[in-house]
Structure 1
Amino acid sequence: MSENVIRIRGARVNNLKSIDIDLPTKAITCFGGPSGSGKTSLAFHTVYNESKRRFLNSFPNYLKFFSDRPAPVDVDEIFPVLPVFGLPQINPVMGTRSVIADTMRLSEIFQNLYFHHANEYCPEHMIPLERLSFAQVLETPLSEYDEGAKFHLAISRSDFLKFFSNAPYPSRSFGEKIKDFEASDPYWEILRFKKKNISKLDQKLIPYLEKEIDIYLIDEANNISKTPVVKQKICPKCHRGGLVAKSPANFTAFNALGACGKCNGFGATLEYDKEKLVDNKISVKDGGVKFLEYKRFSQEYKDLIRVLKAQKISTTKPIAELPGSFWDILYKGKSSYCGLNALFDWLETKKYKPSVRIFVRGKQKEVSCNTCQGTRISPEVEHFYLEEETSFYDLWKMDLSEVYDYFCSFDQRAMSKDFRLLLKSLINILETAIGIGLGHLKLTRKVKSVSAGEYQRLLLLKHLSYEGTGALFIFDEPSLGLSEKEKEKLFKGLKNLVSQGNTVFLIDHSEYFHKRSDRFVFIGPESGSRGGEVLFNGSYKDFVGKHPFKIEISPLNSNKRERIKVEEPNVYGKTFSDFKLPLNEITWVKGASGSGKTARIINVLASELYYRAYGQSLDVTKGTAKSINSDQAIQDVFVVDANLNRYTSRSTFGSMTDMFSIVRKHFLKTPTAKSMGLKEGHLSPNSALGHCPACEGRGYKVVEMQFLEDIIIECEDCKGLKLKPVYASLSDGEMTVAQAYSMPISEVVKKIKLTPKYRRINEYLKILKLDYLSLDRAVNSLSGGERQRLYLLSQLQKEIYNSFLVFENLSFGLSRRELQAVSLFLQKLTSQNNTIVLIDQNDFYKHVASHTLEF
């Protein structure tokens, strides 16, 4: 048996049809094929899960108990089983505290660098703080004594026995006076000195000072006093004190010692957003004070209008035109109107109610903490410097490119070995990050605010910086949102992993990776049950020769000249160049990562158009612009991104497309259903009326095993159908409810009568090539490309006219054949006076868009 291949036999996970395949080790293998054909099932659900399961099973039982182990995989053989690292398509952001530096593990490196190698400086004189010597500490207590005065230094008996039990006993001790040693005395002498020799004390006291033992001073008159201890460093000029007890915890936001006390280490505080409280463009009478539209505040709204009229302040003019006295009344109150500030305080007392917390949070915005300046770190370490120009706080305000330039400027020859090792690791991570288009990200940027592509690359970084051999890396769609130059840098990182003796599996639709991989594997021929077969295993050049792909789409040219013009767009404090888009056409927007594609199109343009249509902004950081002028009024706005984490475990194909509704109504019209008085809930596994009570509509039960993998078994009551058997067996004469839910939707629609709405949805399903899916197919079991098309369909179920549609990274998880189908669908939408913007790096769109905008 060859040791240069991974041997897989009898893989039957999901739709795989007992696949037998040999894949090379120490090489890059790229998997291609239609979305849902079985690529992820083979690479992740088979190889990755089985490798991880066997690795975790090698742990002792007490560790396995706390591990989330994958279930056994339906495969006959995998050999050899390598240590495996994987990056799947779907990676939910965990928590709201994490920032870019945390995800990249830079926070830990900064923590070590500044704790071990930074100096604390005086902010006024910009000189390093110094620790006082013991002689300097005693200068004040001994100032009244002669130079020849003699003194004794002692420590407590308990400290001597605790720290120096192996040392010989001293010659003197102190009870009521200094005398020859007696073991029962409370203080034992450690040395004697004359005042004139005080400068020699520090060297002799090192063992005691290191252990921070209390030292007592005894003079010739037998007066005893504890010596003052200065644990912190101070400025030699102004005697400003520094950090009292420096520890690694002082340099991290994830510890109470290091986190900013005001924002608790979040870097931001919550404040009521004026734009969410008030709509400046309409009058008070027309509902301009949106905050008071909360049902509980209806009386306060009436009181406000009454007070404004009494003060002769207009309630019919737009709020933007009202005088400053209006704002004083609005917030502080007057007469019978209590004011917004009083209502804010009242809501704080009701925050134990979830509904109140949700309402309040919806009216607030995050504002950078003015105490820690958004760094999340306590001001106690603000003035620590590795070199004089850049403080710890200054570092946290940089983006990745600036951090890279800063640390590259260090003269490593003057640094210690430990410092050089940390610096090397840091520079390698930053260099890779910049190469794959992340250099524009601020260290303190919240991870939850980055795009799906940027987050995918952030997670990819830890794998690309791996140093080791004999491991297997599996990456799903790592090229999301990357330009050609950035793909080149990523592929270089993958080749570096292989050069160390590792193996790389890629699941990617990018032709760039197909051409350059050592092995190309095509799985198909189609999606779902029509796929799951290995149709090709060899070089991509040979594959293209046998399976050429012909592009059968071209841009639709319009003679119209209507435009949307945007002047001076501004987001996150950065102003971008002006741009304009043609109306009723498809525009392809591309550009390097960080060039402001999403910021300009979504945060500025789409958000403003949405506000004009609905009177509120999109759920994104709203940008501004000097002006946004459109030659045509926009009726609606849709934004579809590549976020695949928006579904619950119970979301299904039927619920996302709303096709469940028409099928259930079909069965409810049968005589049996009418006689039983059934409702739609009786045919739903998510309703208490219809779901199987034994498994609660899951179709299976989980038997938890303490030291083995949990066992998943089919529910004995409903036989995996999720519904109560009496409802699952309801028939229309051709099929039962259970059969309708489990067969492809293309077969179901042939047997039921569709309304115009559902005929349109069915037509879209055909165009998007999703009609092979069944109604009860869980969304979480679909591939990334299938989810992407399904979400697109769910957003565009109604007839759409004269709307503005933005699609970000729409090509995620889609092959070129599927992209062609989706593009035909989009071109059809432009015929209904819709304007479409595609924010994507996939060059396939040059065959689709009639206009290209590059930032």
Structure 2
Amino acid sequence: MAKSIQLKGVRTNNLKNIDVEFPINKISCVSGVSGSGKSSLVFNTLANESKRRFLNSLPSSMNFFERVPTSAEVDSISPVLPVWSLAQNNPIVGSRLNMADQLEISYELAQLFFEPYSTKCLIHGNKFVDGLSQVETEISDTLTDNCKVIHVLIGKDHYLENISGMPARSFDSKTTTIRDFDKDDSQWEIFRIKPKSIGQFRKKWMELIKNNSVAQLSVYLAGQDELKHFNLNTTAFCPKCSKEEVRSARQISDLLPYNGVGACSECKGYGSTLSYDINKIVKFPKKKISDGAITFLEYAKYSEHYKHFIAEIKKVGVSPDSRFCDVKDEIEEILMRGSGRFYGVLNFLYGLEEKRYKRSARIFLRSLQSEKCCHICDGRRVSPSALLHCGKLQNIISYGDCLSLTLEELYENLFVDKSDTIVKKILSKLEIAIELGLGQFPLMTKLKSLETSEYQKSLLVRYLSFQGSGSLFVLDEPSLGMNSDEQKVLLKFLKKLSINNTVVMVEHSRVLQQGSDHNIVIGPGAGHLGGEVVAHKLPKIEKVQKQLSKKKISDEEIIFKNIEFEGFRYNEIKFQVGTINQVKTKIDSFDKRLVINALFNELNEDIFNEKYDFETTYEIDDLNYPDGIENIFIYETRIEKSTSRSTVGTALDLSGHVRNYFSKLPVSKSLGLEKGHFSKNSKLGQCVVCEGKGIQEIDMQFLEDVTFDCDECGGTGLKKFYASITDGRYTIIDACKTPVSTLFETLPTTPKIKRTIEYLKLLNLDYLTLDRTIPSLSGGERLRVKLLKAIDKKVKNSIIVLTNISYGLSINELSSICELLEGLTGQGNTLVLLDNHEVFSNFNTIELD
């Protein structure tokens, strides 16, 4: 068996034909400055190539729906192991998946409350009653001494479905007696027995009726001259369940939300429902009705109904000059359900639902809906019957109680049953999750609501509890959002995983770097200045040269009082104005919702009469802030999907300036050229063969698609003539391939361009070229470009909320970020950082408790 994974001749992105080895069954850590080529080596080459080769080994019918990665620029990789990768983003957008699904314990939890082939009801604990025996007993109870013969009847349709041949007798409903068979009668006889032979009822029924389709039967008692009707359960059943209209599970899937039987009928197994929200229909409740408070009636399609609405509210004594929030109780029913000549908003929307086949209609309707917890299953996704199931656990009574617990509560309650094999398996995963800081999350937490660091932790639980061997785990900054204690826990479990598997990670954490068996440093710089292996051991920690200024104390504060949010209450939360405020979060997603969707959402509405979030429910009694706040900016650190045509130049609005420069050259003016002639995204300039892509693709039915540079444009994406126009130094192609720090030394600039270049230098991004595609950037590079794009404007006297801006960056790069942030406070801005990194601890710290 090979002792290491060997990569030879790696040239992906900025890597310079390097050779690398990763020891098998060890932990390898790749480090270096952001943009040096770490992700290009580990993800774009090792992980993607391993995945590509595995998928290509499968029949086409199996990998049809899986996107096969493109070939990496590498001479050889040996051996190629099955790969599991942990990317730096949360890809979940659906509403069904939750924390229990992510930890892969949903099925095991259902098993604890299900017993296959049980003879007892799993809800009430009673023994099942045989349906035929029950009917036999009920018939016996109705017999008297006068009864001579029992005629057993079923409906005509059921008879034809179950029995071949015609009966001897049928029941005449007019004379209410048994007679010789008449096909027009509705009740046909299947058999008859004497009262003393009632014990033969079950045997005769089973001989004639082969399936369970008959639910009702009738019995005519000759001698008593009575017709009796009985409901028939042909299988064993629980009488209590029948009365309460619930059903004991007959198979494990009845307790899971992925099918029609187990799922809650109201929310279809999602745990939440969509309903029209008055807060989205009336977006400006503090405005007067006549000034456009009701947004819905401002739309052109529905504006003609505004006069009818005004007429109706006047009838109940409400003036159009009233603020909506002051008269909401009096007119909400009229607005939503209508009155008189005004039909009501809900009726308009129900009518529009008939056009849901149109994409625009679906988007519009969804924009007016909010997701609410299902009132039937209380967010637990399964049917009421499933929630009632009882197991044999000592501390948890019902399945519904189990699904309502947090991970920590579930661990504590299951621990007493740890001898059970299934419980032991669940506890092993819960132990890892709790040690990684996920203990406070409810089992039903939706995955799409998690922050990147929380999603990574939840996925790590699955990886770290892996029981197999011979696999490769590729992790991109697994320590995101973790404190030093959690990083030590992660390292402990990674060492356990690496006994039988190979772990390769990109990491800036010193704890994980020092705990790794093998270290590789990529550098020395970023972009074209990196791409080389500069060391196989960790460099000494260098002191950060840029000294952070001392904590600023401000006399002015933004104060929120008596806050109620998601079941928690805060007496007071304060932010200092004109300084940097670090909010230390304990549960990233919760604290982000509190600060962004509640606190500053309320402040935005109070200052500008407009919310930016209409779905979050909260209460804030009092709010104090100084005058002069001009704007509120929210910057969320998320690596979002980008197209291959999205570049650094387009993201920072630099490419337009360069194209404008070339369009104003004398030769361009004489030819009447416009900016579009120098853009591969414009039909004026793009190559007509490859449509600006620079490459041509051949779709192969069985093998991988083949791509090669376009022969017409030489891979530039531009028409040859326009690509050859020069100012004496650069063509447009040369300009886009030149680092921005060098390019704008010669090209004329504007104050905005100068500011952007200064920011790029401060953030160590001035090595980037304008044609560098956004998907090819590393996580740290992409986040810094996004940050720069958000603040690259004259922002003053504003509030800027930033989340997790330390992700993917080394301590030296973070010091540059701090310098940039301090420069923003000098313009009167107030910064709020939702980030736990210690580099920000020198600022005003707020701990939400």
- Quick one: distance in 1 between partners of 2:231 and 2:585? 66
Partner of 1:505: 504
Structure 1 pair 33–303 and aligned structure 2 pair: CA distance change class (3 A): same
The one-character-per-residue Cα deviations of 1:464-523 (angstroms, maximum 9, x if unpaired) are 110022222110011111122222222222122023x22211211112212222222211
SS of the equivalent of 1:625 reads strand
After TM superposition, the structure 1 = structure 2 runs for residues 367-386 of structure 1, keeping only pairs within 5 Å, are 367-386=372-391
- 8 A Cα contact 1:19 1:533, kept in partner: yes
- Quick one: distance in 2 between partners of 1:800 and 1:330? 40
- Quick one: distance in 1 between partners of 2:748 and 2:588? 50
Partner of 1:416: none
- 8 A Cα contact 2:85 2:473, kept in partner: yes
Structure 1 pair 745–323 and aligned structure 2 pair: CA distance change class (3 A): closer
Structure 1 pair 193–688 and aligned structure 2 pair: CA distance change class (3 A): farther
SS of the equivalent of 2:789 reads helix
1:210 Cα deviation (Å)?
12
What percentage of aligned pairs have identical amino acids?
A: 35
Partner of 2:177: none
- Quick one: distance in 2 between partners of 1:713 and 1:684? 21
Partner of 1:392: 399
Q: Mean alpha-carbon deviation: is it higher for 784-793 or for 7-16? A: 7-16
1:296 Cα deviation (Å)?
1.8
1:590 Cα deviation (Å)?
1.8
1:601 Cα deviation (Å)?
2.0
Question: Which residue among 244, 251, 275 is the counterpart of 2:279?
Answer: 275
Question: Which residue among 743, 746, 749 is the counterpart of 1:748?
Answer: 743
Q: Mean alpha-carbon deviation: is it higher for 364-373 or for 135-144? A: 135-144
- Quick one: distance in 1 between partners of 2:454 and 2:815? 25
Structure 1 counterpart of 2:320, one-letter code: T
- Quick one: distance in 2 between partners of 1:303 and 1:226? 57
1:795 Cα deviation (Å)?
0.8
Structure 1 pair 307–211 and aligned structure 2 pair: CA distance change class (3 A): closer
- 8 A Cα contact 2:254 2:262, kept in partner: yes
SS of the equivalent of 1:85 reads strand
Structure 1 pair 128–135 and aligned structure 2 pair: CA distance change class (3 A): closer
After TM superposition, the structure 1 = structure 2 runs for residues 124-523 of structure 1, keeping only pairs within 5 Å, are 127-128=125-126, 130-132=128-130, 135-143=133-141, 144=143, 228-231=232-235, 233-235=237-239, 240=244, 242-243=246-247, 246-278=250-282, 279-309=284-314, 312-322=317-327, 324-387=329-392, 390-409=397-416, 411=417, 420-499=420-499, 501-523=500-522
- Quick one: distance in 1 between partners of 2:798 and 2:411? 43
Structure 1 pair 717–212 and aligned structure 2 pair: CA distance change class (3 A): same
Partner of 2:156: none
- Give the root-mean-square deviation of aligned CA atoms: 3.9
1:49 Cα deviation (Å)?
2.3
SS of the equivalent of 1:474 reads strand
1:70 Cα deviation (Å)?
2.9
- 8 A Cα contact 2:249 2:255, kept in partner: no
Structure 2 counterpart of 1:808, one-letter code: T
Structure 2 counterpart of 1:251, one-letter code: L
Q: Mean alpha-carbon deviation: is it higher for 433-442 or for 765-774? A: 433-442
Question: Which residue among 565, 569, 573 is the counterpart of 2:567?
Answer: 573
- 8 A Cα contact 1:252 1:258, kept in partner: yes
Structure 2 counterpart of 1:402, one-letter code: E
Question: Which residue among 802, 810, 815 is the counterpart of 1:807?
Answer: 802
1:831 Cα deviation (Å)?
0.7
TM-score by length of 2: 0.85
Question: Which residue among 655, 660, 665 is the counterpart of 1:660?
Answer: 655
Partner of 1:159: none
Partner of 2:532: 533
- Quick one: distance in 2 between partners of 1:314 and 1:214? 64
Q: Mean alpha-carbon deviation: is it higher for 487-496 or for 686-695? A: 686-695
After TM superposition, the structure 1 = structure 2 runs for residues 87-106 of structure 1, keeping only pairs within 5 Å, are 87-106=86-105
- Quick one: distance in 2 between partners of 1:131 and 1:773? 76
Structure 1 pair 195–495 and aligned structure 2 pair: CA distance change class (3 A): farther
- Quick one: distance in 1 between partners of 2:544 and 2:249? 69
1:33 Cα deviation (Å)?
0.6
- 8 A Cα contact 2:726 2:732, kept in partner: yes
Partner of 1:38: 37
Partner of 1:672: 667
1:726 Cα deviation (Å)?
3.1
Structure 1 pair 677–310 and aligned structure 2 pair: CA distance change class (3 A): farther
- Quick one: distance in 2 between partners of 1:134 and 1:517? 68
Structure 1 pair 91–690 and aligned structure 2 pair: CA distance change class (3 A): farther
- 8 A Cα contact 2:25 2:501, kept in partner: yes
Structure 2 counterpart of 1:664, one-letter code: R
- Quick one: distance in 1 between partners of 2:644 and 2:322? 49
- 8 A Cα contact 2:692 2:717, kept in partner: yes
- Tell me whether 1:583 sits opposite 2:577 in the alignment: yes
Partner of 1:564: 558
Structure 1 pair 364–227 and aligned structure 2 pair: CA distance change class (3 A): closer
Q: Mean alpha-carbon deviation: is it higher for 254-263 or for 620-629? A: 620-629
Structure 1 counterpart of 2:444, one-letter code: T
Structure 1 pair 596–757 and aligned structure 2 pair: CA distance change class (3 A): same
1:716 Cα deviation (Å)?
2.0
Structure 1 pair 401–693 and aligned structure 2 pair: CA distance change class (3 A): farther
1:211 Cα deviation (Å)?
9.3
1:614 Cα deviation (Å)?
4.0
Structure 2 counterpart of 1:351, one-letter code: R
- 8 A Cα contact 2:248 2:386, kept in partner: no
Structure 2 counterpart of 1:790, one-letter code: V
Partner of 2:611: 617
SS of the equivalent of 2:302 reads helix
- Quick one: distance in 1 between partners of 2:848 and 2:271? 34
- Quick one: distance in 2 between partners of 1:368 and 1:652? 40
The one-character-per-residue Cα deviations of 1:23-49 (angstroms, maximum 9, x if unpaired) are 322222211111111111111222222
- Quick one: distance in 1 between partners of 2:355 and 2:561? 44
Q: Mean alpha-carbon deviation: is it higher for 781-790 or for 683-692? A: 683-692
1:145 Cα deviation (Å)?
8.7
TM-score by length of 1: 0.85
Structure 1 counterpart of 2:258, one-letter code: F
Partner of 1:608: 602
- Quick one: distance in 2 between partners of 1:799 and 1:833? 11
Partner of 1:84: 83
* Structure 1: gaps spanning 5 or more residues: 154-173, 178-186, 414-419
SS of the equivalent of 2:267 reads coil
1:121 Cα deviation (Å)?
6.3
The one-character-per-residue Cα deviations of 1:578-630 (angstroms, maximum 9, x if unpaired) are 32121111122224336943233222222223333443323473543222322
- 8 A Cα contact 2:418 2:424, kept in partner: no
1:659 Cα deviation (Å)?
0.8
1:781 Cα deviation (Å)?
0.9
Structure 1 counterpart of 2:547, one-letter code: I
- 8 A Cα contact 1:480 1:809, kept in partner: no
Structure 1 pair 392–120 and aligned structure 2 pair: CA distance change class (3 A): farther
Structure 2 counterpart of 1:299, one-letter code: E
Structure 1 pair 802–686 and aligned structure 2 pair: CA distance change class (3 A): same
The one-character-per-residue Cα deviations of 1:696-745 (angstroms, maximum 9, x if unpaired) are 32222222223322222122222221223333333333211222222222
Partner of 1:781: 776
Q: Mean alpha-carbon deviation: is it higher for 728-737 or for 331-340? A: 331-340
Question: Which residue among 687, 699, 717 is the counterpart of 2:694?
Answer: 699
SS of the equivalent of 2:43 reads helix
The one-character-per-residue Cα deviations of 1:225-250 (angstroms, maximum 9, x if unpaired) are 99944435224698545427733332
